[in-house]
Amino acid sequence: MGCRACGENGLQEVFHLGRLPLANALLQAGQLDLPEPSYPLNLLLCPRCSLVQIGETVPPQILYGNYLYLSSFSTTFLEHSQRLAERLIAARRLGPQSQVIEVGSNDGYLLQFYARCGIPVLGIEPAANVARVAEEERGIRTLCEFFSEDLARRLQGEGMRADVLHAHNVLAHQPELNGFVRGFKTLLSEEGVLVIEVPHVLQMIEHCEYDTIYHEHLCYFSLTALDHLFRRNGLMIEDVERLDIHGGSLRVFAVHAGRGAPKPAVEELLTEEGRWGVARQETYKKFADRAGALRESLRESLSNLVKSGKRLAAYGAAAKGSTLLNYCAIGREWLEFVVDRSPHKQGLYMPGVHIPIYPTARLLEARPDYVLLLAWNFAQEIMAQQEEYRRRGGRFILPIPEVEIV
C-alpha cells in the first residue's frame, strides 16, 4: 500500500501484532459461539513523511455503525474539554455571532461547554447511537454523517464556516487524510483556528504504549508528519502543546497558510523529533522488541498470581484493553471479569477473549485480589473512584509502561 498521507510506496513494516478482532466489537452472549472476524494489525513507517500507520483498512461502516465509546464517561476527559472551551471562548472572544464546529463530536462532551455560553455549535458524528445521545441528552445539533471534503463544501454553500473547528482524536481514524484535511480548510473561516488533538507517537514509543494500536487508529502522528500533511493541504501549524491526556497527546493549532508564522514551540518540537529518530526504522523496531518483552512480563506476573491462588479481574472495556488482552493472549483462565462505568458496555463480552463485562460495583461484590487496569491512562481517576475497594485490600496492576502493582 502507499502512504496514507504522501503516497510513498516504500513503506517499512516495523511491528506486527498478529490477527486481532476489532477492538470495540463487543459481543453479546449469543455471539460467543459464532465465528469472530479478525484482521491483521501491522505497523508501518513512511520514510518520506514519517507517518506511522497500520496496513489494514476496515470499512468505516463496520467500525462505527454502532459505536460504544462515549467520551462523557471519563470525568478527567470532561474537565480537560471544559478547560479548553473556556480558554478559547475568552481568547477568541466568542459569542452568539460565532460558530464552533466539531468533527467527530461523539456525545457532545466538548460542544456542550460552548452551548452553555450561548455560542452556536454544530457536531458532526457518524455513529447514529452516539449522535442521538448528543442531541437528546445535551441538545447539541449533530449531523449524523462521515466528515469529508464534500460535506465541508456543502456546509460552506449553506453559509456555514467555523471560527473554531475542533477535531479531537479523530484524524487518526481517517483512511483518506488529504481529503479530510482539505475539508478542514474548506470549513474554516478566514480568521478561524483549527484545534486538533492526537496521541503523540513519540510518547507512544517511549512509554511502550502498544495497546494504543488498533484497527480504528489508522495513523500515529508526530508533529513532523502533521506538518507535512497540513502544508500539503493549505494549512499552517501555528502552535503546538504537549498534553498528558491519553498517555501523551499533541494539541495543534492550525490556520490558513499565509496567516502568521509558526511559534517557537513548533520548531522546537520538530527539531526534537528529528533528533529522536522520527523517520528511522530502528526507532520503531526497538519499540516492537520492548512491547514483546513487556507482554511476556505481564503474562508471567498474572500467571504467578493465579498459581498462588489469587483471584484477578480487570477494569476498563476500552479499545486499548482489547488490544492488550488479545495481543498478550490473556483470557478467562486468568481474569474472571472486566468492569466498566459505561452501561452501554455492561452485559457484553470483550472481543476475542470473551471475558464478561460488569458494572464497577462488581469489584466490591466479588472482591478479586487484583485488578488489571486496562484503562491505565485514567489511573488516578479510577483508583480514586475505587478507594473503598483498595481500602478493603484490593490492588491494581498497571501494565504500562512497566508491570507495576499498586
Q: Is the CA virtual torsion 284, 285, 288, 290 positive or negative?
A: negative
Share of the chain above pLDDT 90, in %: 89
Q: Span 155-184, mean pLDDT?
A: 95
Residue 305 φ then ψ, to 5°: -65, -45
> Residue 57: is it exposed, middle or buried by C-beta count within 10 angstroms (0-12/13-18/19+)?
middle
Task: Report pLDDT digits (tens) over 292-319.
Answer: 999 999 999 999 999 999 999 999 999 9
Task: Report pLDDT digits (tens) over 223-236.
Answer: 999 999 999 999 99
Under a CB-based contact definition with an 8 Å cutoff, are residues 181 and 236 in contact?
Answer: no
Share of the chain above pLDDT 70, in %: 98
> What's the pLDDT at 14?
96
Per the model's pLDDT, the better-predicted residue between 75 and 343 turns out to be: 343
> What's the pLDDT at 73?
64
Other residues' Cβ atoms within 10 Å of the Cβ of residue 193? 21
H helices present in 235-378, as ranges: 264-276, 281-307, 319-327, 362-366
pTM reported for the whole predicted model = 0.89
Q: Which of 180, 124, 183 is nearest to 153 (CA)?
A: 183
> What's the pLDDT at 260?
82
Q: What is the mean pLDDT of the chain?
A: 94
**DSSP-derived pairing of the beta strands 404-405 and 395-398:** antiparallel
Q: Which three cell numbers stand for residue 229?
A: 500533511
Confidence label for 71 from pLDDT (cuts 50, 70 and 90): low
Task: Report pLDDT digits (tens) over 91-117.
Answer: 999 999 999 999 999 999 999 999 999
Task: Report pLDDT digits (tens) over 19-51.
Answer: 999 999 999 999 999 999 999 999 999 999 999
Under a CB-based contact definition with an 8 Å cutoff, are residues 185 and 141 in contact?
Answer: no
